[in-house]
Amino acid sequence: MPVLCQACEARHGGICGALDPGQLQQLGRQTARREVAAGTQLVAAGVPADGYANILGGVVKLIKLMPDGRQQIVGLQFAPDFLGRPFADSSDVSAEAASTVRLCVFSRSALERMVAQAPALEHRLHQQALRELDDAREWMITLGRKSAPERVASFLLLLAAHIDPLVPGYSTTFDITLKRADIADFLGLTIETVSRNLSALRKAGIISIERRRCITINDTAALEVAAGR
């Protein structure tokens, strides 16, 4: 087994878990680790992607843009998610690093070769697509029916649930990697409304905020109630 893969966080729940040691070694020869800075464009909407990647660490924003410049973040991805749109030349969502992101990248042809050999790999990709679909639909009720305070609380719970793939359930202290403008684009609100509602949660004692980035959840149950369950 490749030394790289032995330590690869992507295996824990990632798509590579579907491969046997021989296949893993074969794929390992065609992958490269990369670390990109916050703000790096990873996938451009409408542009054929040169490859795919597993996210080893950090947060990736999936962004949709309207012609007049309005934008909506349609998803966040965390380790060990698979990044890219299988079986399509291009997608109409862009992906951008929201924090420093560590990736295990591989070419489209390498993935397609592995899928042909290991049907279990396509099954994993299928499972992830279904999970992302569930997440997207869950977020649709947030965008369509929740109030601003509920949306902000829902966002904090989402982040707490995913920011550290090693913590089951919710992390209680973590860095918000996103800027207020990103949060606003994810929640369908303005930065001012996001800021006001974070302040309200802080004043209610439900969360603490240090240096604007570091969040501590003091009362998870209260936050869940604030999120509308």
Partner DNA sequence: CCCGGTGCTTGATCCAGATCAAGTTTGCCG
Partner DNA sequence: CGGCAAACTTGATCTGGATCAAGCACCGGG
Q: Which residues bind a second copy (CB under 8 A)?
A: 62, 64, 66-68, 70-72, 74-75, 85-88, 91-93, 119, 122-123, 125-127, 129-130, 132-134, 136-141, 143-145, 185, 187-188, 228-229
The answer to whether residues 134 and 182 touch, using CB atoms and an 8 Å cutoff, is: no
- Closest distance of CB 57 from DNA, Å: 19
What does 37 interact with, of DNA, a second copy, none (CB < 5 to 8 A by kind)?
none
Q: At what angle do helices 180-187 and 148-162 cross, to 10 degrees?
A: 110
Cα–Cα distance for residue pair 181/190, rounded to 1 Å: 7
Cα–Cα distance for residue pair 96/83, rounded to 1 Å: 11
- Closest distance of CB 35 from DNA, Å: 17
Is the backbone peptide bond immediately before 149 cis, with ω within 30 degrees of 0?
A: no
For the stretch 139-167, what's the b/e string if a residue is b when 16 or more beta carbons lie within 10 angstroms of its beta carbon?
Answer: beebeeebebbbbbbbbbbbbbebbebee
What are the backbone angles phi and psi of residue 30, rounded to the nearest 5°?
Answer: -110, 15
Nearer to a second copy, 140 or 214 (CB): 140
What does 95 interact with, of DNA, a second copy, none (CB < 5 to 8 A by kind)?
none
Which spans of this chain sit near DNA (rule: CB under 7 A)? 147-149, 179-181, 188-196, 198-199, 209, 211-213
- Closest distance of CB 89 from a second copy, Å: 13
Nearer to a second copy, 181 or 214 (CB): 181
What does 167 interact with, of a second copy, DNA, none (CB < 5 to 8 A by kind)?
none
What does 108 interact with, of DNA, a second copy, none (CB < 5 to 8 A by kind)?
none
Cα–Cα distance for residue pair 158/166, rounded to 1 Å: 15
- Closest distance of CB 129 from a second copy, Å: 4
Nearer to DNA, 19 or 215 (CB): 215
The sheet that has 94-97: what strands, in order across it? 41-43, 94-97, 59-65, 71-78
